Structure 1
């Protein structure tokens, strides 16, 4: 069964005036989410904060969810820019330390999910397939002729083979990626406060390292 898709804008602005109107609607939506919370988000409130007639809003958006789609697309775009910058650092770490690289990956994944979960969590969880940051990162990587996240992660583990227990590094890569994502998504849905917990972050990292490393290896020094 196909995943439910969020409502789309009725049309896109073509002229400067209409572009400014839509931008004002999008900014008003974000301001309400930031200052008043998702429970107070309505089309009437968006129009009021944007300073536009509600009929003008409905000319472009059928409901508030369609406005949220645009807001979340902007969030995804900003996260992609940050991910590209962060990944350069992670790629450098990958040749130095298994633990430091995994820690940086965990931090990046938590930061991305906290941002996506922050403004309108119910909307995000309903349509998270539409705002899949991992899929977008893979699309960006392919467009830049870089390896996919899956291929990069397997290669990264291969570089630290001497620190890993015996086994298939591709399978290790699969389990680590899926386990990390599943635990973070569970936390975002059930206990979002954990995403800001340093203890939760440390437990995630310890779990991944315990799975990957041979018993005698243990956690590597931080520096």
Structure 2
């Protein structure tokens, strides 16, 4: 972003441009999205757009940051820690992830299909930090049942492995793997890995 909006009107303009970016990508696809079309959908001039965003990539990066914030907020609203059973907690988080990626009338599907071309670090970092905070709270409450070590390493592996698997499934699914079956197997995998006691980890 070229400059940060300070006034309310400027913030509203930036939000309108980000929303228009999402709408154009959803309707026309990533490759057919242009700054001219985004400005048109937002109801502003291209000159106004360029006051805040240097190009299409800047708008897409801002959109990804906005989506990361939305996903983080959605995760915080989930009563995950109400689940005493680890399987139930993990299952709820994975089901939420699939629900998000399948939502927004095709927007996320188009973004997932182009995941390798997009600035996705903010999204992944948001998810990773949320699961890190959640895991700390959960394992502090249940330390006697799950005396875990290397929590940061495990959360990093789990977050990236699950996200990559979900993205691959949604973007390239040929119908051979049902989403429910995949969610169940991911839950089993993550719960089993996170519950592995320290004695089974080997030397550090």
TM-score, normalisation: structure 1: 0.66
Name which of 116, 121, 126 aligns with 1:133. Answer: 126
Q: C-alpha distance in 1, partners of 2:101/2:162?
A: 8
List aligned pairs for 1:75-114, cutoff 5 A. Answer: 75-86=67-78, 89-94=79-84, 97-111=85-99
Residue in 2 that maps onto 1:143 = none
Partner of 1:169: 148
* Partner secondary structure for residue 5 of structure 2: coil
Corresponding pairs, count: 187
Deviation at 1:202, TM superposition (A): 1.0
Residue 25 (structure 2) aligned to one of 9, 28, 33? 33
Gap runs ≥5 in structure 1: 1-8, 139-146, 162-167, 215-223
Are the aligned partners of 1:47 and 1:53 in contact in 2 as well (CA < 8 Å)? Answer: yes
Does structure 1 residue 197 correspond to structure 2 residue 182?
Answer: no
Contact 1:117 1:188 in 2 (8 A): no
User: Do structure 1's residue 22 and structure 2's residue 4 form an aligned pair?
Assistant: no
**1:124–1:59 distance in 2 versus 1, CA, 3 Å:** farther
Which residue of structure 2 lines up, in the alignment, with residue 207 of structure 1? 189
Q: Residues of 2 paired with 1:213 and 1:13: CA distance?
A: 48
- TM-score normalised by length of structure 2: 0.71
Are residues 1:54 and 2:46 paired? yes
1:99: Cα distance to partner? 2.3
Q: Distance in 1 between matches of 2:178 and 2:108?
A: 12
Contact 2:69–2:126 (8 Å) recurs in 1 = no
C-alpha change, 1:135 and 1:29, in structure 2 (3 Å) is same
Name the CA shift for 1:18/1:175 in 2 (closer, same or farther; >3 Å). Answer: closer
Larger Rg: 1
